[in-house]
Amino acid sequence: MGAKYQQSDKGKFTKDLPIASLSRFLGKLQVTSVEFVHGGYAEISVLGFWRVVAKVEESNGTVLKYGLTFEQFNGELTSILAIPK
């Protein structure tokens, strides 16, 4: 069985992002970019992961940025990193 979200599935992956669930913990997320990152040489590797950058504007106007990674097989979240200013 193959990956649910291959590189050509960006629209499906983006549509299925668990933004509502993540927003409960991080604040109201606004996705700013979605890209597939190859796990090896792009010409020969189909393995990789999805990198999502999102921002949250706090009530005081501060904008926080997060980098989120998702594995390609089931679209499960694997990491959340705060991106420094």
CB atoms within 10 A of CB 56: 16
Find the helix or strand (DSSP H, E) in which 63 lies. strand 63-71
Q: What is the mean pLDDT of the chain?
A: 90
3-state secondary structure of 22: helix
pLDDT tens-digit map of 48-63: 899 999 999 998 999 9
Give the end-to-end CA distance of the chain in Å, rounded to a whole number. 40
Which domains does the chain show, CATH number per domain?
Answer: 7-83 (3.10.450)
pTM for the predicted model, two decimal places: 0.87
| Cα(59)–Cα(67) distance, integer angstroms | 21
Q: How many CB atoms lie within 10 A of CB 79?
A: 11
Mark the ranges of the chain whose per-residue pLDDT is less than 70. 1, 40-46
